Structure 1
Amino acid sequence: MASLNPLNTNLDLRKAKHLLRRATFNYTKEQLDTFIGMSATDAVNRLTNNAPYIVTEPYDPLPTSAPDGFWTSSTEHPNTFDGQGRKRSHITAWWWHNALNQVSLKYKLSFFLHTSFTVAKDNGVGLSPFFFDHLRLLDFYALGNIKTLAKKITLDNGMLDYLDNTQNNKNNPNENYAREYLELFTILKGEQIGEGNYTNYTEVDIQQAAKVFSGFKKQWDRNGDIDPDTNLPMGYINVGQHDTNDKTFSSAFNNHVITGRDTAETIFDELDDFVEMVFNQPETAKSYCRKLYRYFVKSEISSVAETDIIEPLSQIMINNDYEILPVITTLLSSEHFYDADDSDSSDNIIGAIIKSPLQLLSEVISIFNVTYPNPETEQLYFFRNFFQWYIHGSYFKASGMPFFDPDSVAGYPAYYQEPGFDRNWFSSNTIIGRYELIQDLLTKNNIYTDLDTVLFVENKIDPDAAKDPNTLVSGIADLLFPESIDTDRINYFKTFLIEDSNDYYWTGAWLQYINTHSENDKNTVKTRLDALISALVNAAEFQLM
């Protein structure tokens, strides 16, 4: 039996690692020390803070002679600025820096919403300010209400462009957005039971939905309509291009009729009626709960998990009118999440997900306290050299995760494509990109980072224990890996410290450095620690969470 009952023991190191990895992009020893000993409920509640942005907006340091600077807050028309692709990469840099430096569920849930309401930043979302508004919309509702977001997203300028709804008119309907809204964003397809009938909706429902969405247009200058709830620019309604007739849906929606409207104000009511109709279907809540389960728990949903986890979670979602937090706090506080509801060793949850390239990057940067250029004082080095050229243009591309730019509206295959799911992150094309990350951070000068493995050991591992290569390897592995490692694995990793020598080789070198702190002695131990850390990060155990 799978159980949503709250975990009845406090978090130990193993469970704290599990929660911190799954719920945040900030993974540090200091945070682990904070969460160890807390109840699961208290720990999760601590993560639900909605802190303001650390860096409020992105910055374009180019052209160097007269930087476009904070162009997203400019009153100029969005098409005034050149380098829109570069600027969109700077927006992802801005988002990632905020996500990395806050210990909050907000950004994990924001990225979850990106996988649920997908746009591709370089393939149809339009000019960079619209992408910036789109990410802020996801952030705004990350700890809020999915149903409300499902209404707001329709007037999001980036989404209006990405799925062509700005071209959807009463006399020339475009069904692209309506189709994806049902198939991918909300209720999802069920089993096809007939021609044009997908159980949860039909082709007729797509046609009727397109009529509901007709006349919703992109606001090109961002200076027009502002959403009163989010304070973000939004699209507008062209009343003359909206289908004002009644919309009759299929038996999948109990032949529901939405009354057509003919004023801007009442057409919003028509949209509300449609969204309420879709979200009144129990299958819509189940679709989101299955997505949340695959994102936070594991890819495979057993029949037991479907009955004992998905169904009660979906009822919690319905009972709370699609507020996210009651669902996610229940899930992340549960016995099931911590694998404490059964003794089946073949059905583990801890260590059951392959890290995305985003998670891998964020963990390496945070656990090793890798320094990188400050986005507020070293904009050129942060936005261009470190992020655009290396992280965005090299690492993410090589590791198979075009950042906020999936190949299709379905999103990243790791989150939806059966049977592989997260195993899609690993392939012969992406493994080298993942494995080169740690080496690049240790050796590349042109990305302006500093990963000091000696300082890491001094600050994060008991200094006395560090002189013994066995306890040193074990101590670092306990921080990095989901589970403890056995003697054979310790002996394997130890070879990177002692090579063909005995343990006293490392002990002598470490004590020599501790006694002198000379540059030569530091270089001696650093060479060995760099090799050890590289091996640990690229080990199979660290690829899992």
Structure 2
Amino acid sequence: METTTITSCNASTLAPYVPSGSNPWDVSKVKHVYRRLGFSASIADVDAALALTPSTLIDNIVDTAFNLPTTPAPAWGFYALSDFTDFETENTQYLIDWRIQAGNDFFSETLRGRLAFFWSNHFVTQLETYFYAPYLFQYYNVLQTYALGNFKDFTNAIGKNPAMLLYLNGFENTNFEPNENYARELFELFTLGEGNNYTQMDITETSRALTGYNHWTEPGAAITFDASTHDAGTKIIFDQEGPWGYDDVIDILFNERGNELAHTICRKLYTFFVSPEVDATIETNIIQPLAQTFINNNFELVPVLKQLFKSEHFFDVKALGVVIKSPFDTIFNFIKEGNFFYDDVIMEAILQYSALMGQQIFDPPDVSGWQRDEDWINGSTLTGRWQLMELYINYLFVNGYEFTLTDLARELSNDSNDPAFITEVMVNHFVPKNLHTASDYVTATNILKWEVPQNYYDDGIWNLNWSTAPLQVSLLLKHIARMPEFQLK
């Protein structure tokens, strides 16, 4: 397994975080929880969380996500092709509708939404390959169902899903013409990691065992097992010999390669939720114990998530602000933290702009998914982020929501009329760590002050009820959205 040579600065352990005078439970840590475990939180949610212990907050978030029912199936969720009246028109609209629904779920469901999206970038399919609304819903339903469930059951279910069967050629995998595509990705990307204790022969034999999921009553219907296209012969997988089928493959994989699998999945969870930097110490002191927890709990995800999220390591100040926001993070966090207006029309626009910045919902670039972090930022995507934020702030300003901007400033500053203080609390509200220098705050303050004469501030005449205050706050917010610190979570 490839390990980076970067040395992590975070030396804290998996011991539960207990607040102290030198390491207090404060707003920055609560926001850290919500920015990593969801798409941030409102001021009210942050205030409510401060009244809880860190352990209780994590339990509440994880347990709520675990118990959350899946999004109800739409009327068309299990259509076959003949159920459509006008396939081209209806299917296209249903795909739009469901992407908006999923975007709303990601935004509102905290950890379940975050993990459903995470798993869509792990058990990758590409909508453009199958482009069929019922299969998109069924795929998404599996992601939601197992997002915090048993990973073995998850792995079993996803490989039989129509979207996956079509995307990685399982539908074409028969005893007459075996296709190794899914078997290879099952080991390389979905469970063990590239080259991690499997052979080409294991892939070949596994592909034979996975044959048979080739039957449907008509295009677009459920894909079911057909014994006539299954290779019933003897296979040898990880040195286990027998007439193996699909379920046997999953059993053998988890029984014979559980250590490798657990480490790979826990490492991926760590790099997503904590830090992209993993060194030998992190491998030994953090990821390996998490993997052992995973194994000890029969590959249930909840014990692993709670152990990681409650740890000193997760709450270490060095874990704050070290992950680059995705395009979705950038706009979702801003809306949530500002308690700003959004609806389905805005969600559809967000999905379109996020696609332009490299994050097209349900369409990662390839089977390995988005590589995240530094890959999110380049010359064009960075300016795209700025443009999206400006467009959204302008939308609020010209569509009757301009006073929500000053309402936020008023709430954060306790209705102060000091532009420097208002600027400081506004900036600090949206960035994970304070700006590096005092001059950065001075620059931001000057933007908030805009063209209002200085004596209006000196004499205390100006305040957030001033006629130009919404415009001034909007200019400050646009400036904040361009800060390097704003791109971090």
Partner of 2:477: 533
SS of the aligned residue for 2:126 comes to coil
Please show how residues 111-260 of structure 1 align to structure 2 within 5 Å. 111-122=117-128, 124-189=129-194, 198-217=195-214, 219=216, 235-249=223-237, 253=238, 255-260=239-244
| Inter-partner Cα distance in structure 1 for 2:428 and 2:434 | 6
| Inter-partner Cα distance in structure 2 for 1:321 and 1:456 | 46
| Inter-partner Cα distance in structure 2 for 1:247 and 1:281 | 20
| Inter-partner Cα distance in structure 2 for 1:6 and 1:505 | 47
1:273 counterpart = 2:223: no
Aligned with 2:55 (options 38, 41, 45)? 41
Cα deviation for residue 221 of structure 1 reads 5.9
Partner of 1:64: none
Output the amino acid matched with 1:502.
Q
| Inter-partner Cα distance in structure 2 for 1:44 and 1:533 | 30
Partner of 1:386: 346
RMSD: 2.6
- Structure 1 residues 406 and 336, CA gap change in structure 2 (3 angstroms): same
Partners of 1:157 and 1:219 within 8 A in 2: no
- Structure 1 residues 351 and 258, CA gap change in structure 2 (3 angstroms): farther
Output the amino acid matched with 1:214.
T
Output the amino acid matched with 1:495.
N
Output the amino acid matched with 1:366.
K
Aligned with 1:7 (options 17, 37, 61)? 17
Q: How many residues align?
A: 468
- Structure 1 residues 398 and 506, CA gap change in structure 2 (3 angstroms): farther
Cα deviation for residue 223 of structure 1 reads 9.5
Cα deviation for residue 506 of structure 1 reads 8.4
Partners of 1:468 and 1:503 within 8 A in 2: no
Q: Deviations over 1:321-377 (max 9, x none)?
A: 11111111111111111126xxxxxxx32110000011112111211222123xxxx
1:356 counterpart = 2:326: yes
Q: Identity of paired residues, percent?
A: 26
Output the amino acid matched with 1:386.
I
Please show how residues 367-382 of structure 1 align to structure 2 within 5 Å. 367-373=337-343, 382=344
Partner of 1:492: 443
TM-score (norm 2): 0.88
Aligned with 2:288 (options 294, 308, 311)? 311
SS of the aligned residue for 1:140 comes to helix
Partners of 1:441 and 1:449 within 8 A in 2: no
Partners of 2:70 and 2:144 within 8 A in 1: no
Cα deviation for residue 276 of structure 1 reads 3.2
Partner of 1:455: 407
Cα deviation for residue 57 of structure 1 reads 5.3
Partners of 1:115 and 1:411 within 8 A in 2: yes
Cα deviation for residue 79 of structure 1 reads 5.6
| Inter-partner Cα distance in structure 2 for 1:55 and 1:292 | 24
Partners of 2:215 and 2:226 within 8 A in 1: no
| Inter-partner Cα distance in structure 2 for 1:54 and 1:245 | 39
Partners of 2:146 and 2:154 within 8 A in 1: yes
| Inter-partner Cα distance in structure 1 for 2:428 and 2:406 | 17
Unaligned runs of at least 5 residues, structure 2: 1-10
1:402 counterpart = 2:402: no
Moved more, 127-136 or 479-488: 479-488
SS of the aligned residue for 1:322 comes to coil
Aligned with 2:457 (options 505, 511, 532)? 505
Output the amino acid matched with 1:246.
T
Partner of 1:472: 422
Q: Deviations over 1:37-81 (max 9, x none)?
A: 4322111111020364697456xxxxxxxxxxx533667746653
Aligned with 1:25 (options 39, 47, 52)? 39
Cα deviation for residue 461 of structure 1 reads 3.5
Partners of 2:94 and 2:133 within 8 A in 1: yes
Partners of 1:442 and 1:450 within 8 A in 2: no
- Structure 1 residues 89 and 508, CA gap change in structure 2 (3 angstroms): farther
Aligned with 1:107 (options 103, 110, 113)? 113
Partners of 2:389 and 2:478 within 8 A in 1: yes
| Inter-partner Cα distance in structure 1 for 2:322 and 2:213 | 43
- Structure 1 residues 274 and 236, CA gap change in structure 2 (3 angstroms): farther
SS of the aligned residue for 2:324 comes to coil
Give the structure with the higher percent helix.
2
Partner of 1:88: 95
TM-score (norm 1): 0.80
Partners of 1:215 and 1:237 within 8 A in 2: yes
| Inter-partner Cα distance in structure 2 for 1:476 and 1:446 | 17
| Inter-partner Cα distance in structure 1 for 2:359 and 2:312 | 32
Partners of 2:39 and 2:107 within 8 A in 1: yes
1:329 counterpart = 2:306: yes
Partners of 1:100 and 1:362 within 8 A in 2: yes
Output the amino acid matched with 2:357.
S
| Inter-partner Cα distance in structure 1 for 2:368 and 2:287 | 22
Output the amino acid matched with 1:410.
S
SS of the aligned residue for 1:315 comes to helix
| Inter-partner Cα distance in structure 1 for 2:263 and 2:396 | 48
Cα deviation for residue 29 of structure 1 reads 1.0
Cα deviation for residue 442 of structure 1 reads 2.1
Q: Deviations over 1:260-295 (max 9, x none)?
A: 4xxxxxx454344344346x4311100001100110
Output the amino acid matched with 1:215.
G
Unaligned runs of at least 5 residues, structure 1: 59-69, 190-197, 225-233, 261-266, 341-347, 374-381, 415-421, 515-520
Partners of 1:357 and 1:401 within 8 A in 2: yes
| Inter-partner Cα distance in structure 2 for 1:505 and 1:53 | 52
- Structure 1 residues 203 and 73, CA gap change in structure 2 (3 angstroms): closer
Partner of 1:67: none
- Structure 1 residues 114 and 220, CA gap change in structure 2 (3 angstroms): farther
- Structure 1 residues 74 and 157, CA gap change in structure 2 (3 angstroms): closer
Q: Deviations over 1:109-141 (max 9, x none)?
A: 11221121011122x234111011111110111
SS of the aligned residue for 2:127 comes to coil
Output the amino acid matched with 2:430.
L
